[in-house]
Structure 1
Amino acid sequence: MTGRLDLLERSGGTRPLAGRRVLVTRARAQAGELVTRLRELGAEPVLCPVIEIAPPENTGPL
């Protein structure tokens, strides 16, 4: 997140996303940091992964 303004600092330390639900569609294994940050900003993250990353069943064709 380099180069982005810190929303929490810009809001004067308040929770700018308080009372908001945010749909997180990242794979469950990748969503942790985003979910944590959203909670810090006051949001209620709703996890709804639209993909699942898994190894292939058959690596023969690879």
Structure 2
Amino acid sequence: MTIGDVLKQQPKTADVFMKHGMHCLGCPSATGETIAQAAMVHGTDLDKLIDELNKVVE
């Protein structure tokens, strides 16, 4: 799933992405980049990021 898809479905997740250094949420790379790709590029633990995203949408 791309960051753009997540943000469209769950806009409140933006704070989680920004907390992990993903500040350009509307730029073309973010809208086409998967969560896993973004985690790798930003040096973020993917499992931790997904856990935090899931907590926000519960």
TM-score, normalised to structure 1's length?
0.25
Q: Which structure is larger by alpha-carbon Rg, 1 or 2?
A: 1
- Which protein is richer in helix relative to its size? 2
TM-score, normalised to structure 2's length?
0.26
